[in-house]
Amino acid sequence: MRVGLMADSHDRLPAIAEIVKQMQAAGVSMLIHAGDYCAPFSLRPIEEASMSLAGVFGKNDGDTQGLLAKASAGFGAELFESPHSFEVGGQRILVVHDIGEVQPRSIEGHSIVVHGCTHQQEMKHRGDTLIVNPGEACGWLYGTPKAAIIDLNDKTVEFISLDPAHWTT
C-alpha cells in the first residue's frame, strides 16, 4: 500500500493540488498529514481528489473547529490532536507535528513516525522505527514544495519535490 505524506502545507493551494495530483498518479489513495494546514480551505484539493486523510493539527492551525468541520464533511478525513497513533496497512504509525514534543519512549512500538514542523525533508531510523519528515508542502521557507510517498509493504520512501518552473504559485 502506497501512502502520501505531507506536512506544513500552510494554505498554498496550488502546491497542495499539484502534490496531490502527483501522488494520485503514483497510486496513492491515502494521505497522512503532520499538521499546519492553517485554514479549512487547504483541505479542498485533498477532498476534490477523493483521497482519504489521517492527520494531526500543527502549531499554525488556528481554525481547528473549521478544519474538523471540513474534514467531517464526508470525504474520508480524520484530524486529531498531535500526537496520534493508529494502524494502517499492517504498520503502527505515529503522526506528530513537532517530534520534539514526544518522549523517545512514545516512538517505541511504532514502525513509522511521520512529523513536520521543521519544514525540511528527513528520513532516519531509530532501531526498527522509520522516522520521516516529508518537508514543507508549501515551499514558503525553502522555495520548493515537498512531500513524500511511503510504501507500507517494505517501508521505502520516495521524496517528492515540485519544480517551481512547472507549477503555478
Q: What is the pLDDT of residues 13-31, one digit of tens each?
A: 999 999 999 999 999 989 9
pLDDT of 169 > 60? The answer is no
How many Å is the Cα radius of gyration of the chain? 14
* Confidence (pLDDT) at 134: 98
Is position 169 within any domain? no
Q: CATH no. for residue 19?
A: 3.60.21.10
Give the number of residues written for the chain.
Answer: 169
Question: Residue 167: is it exposed, middle or buried by C-beta count within 10 angstroms (0-12/13-18/19+)?
Answer: middle
Q: What are the cell numbers at 66?
A: 473549521
Domain span at 71: 2-164
pLDDT at position 88 is 95
Chain segment 101-145, per-residue pLDDT in tens: 999 888 989 999 999 999 999 999 999 999 999 999 999 999 999
pLDDT digits (tens, 9 = 90+) for 61-89: 988 999 999 888 767 889 999 999 999 99
Domain-located, residue 13: yes
Q: Does residue 168 have a pLDDT over 70?
A: no
> Residue 57: its pLDDT value, please?
97
Total number of domains in the chain: 1
If you average pLDDT over residues 143-154, what whole number do you get? 96
Render the burial of 62-100: b for 16+ CB within 10 Å, e for the rest.
eeeeebbebbeeebebebbebbbeeeeeebebbbbbbbe
Distances (CA, A) of 23 to 101, 103, 106: 29, 31, 29
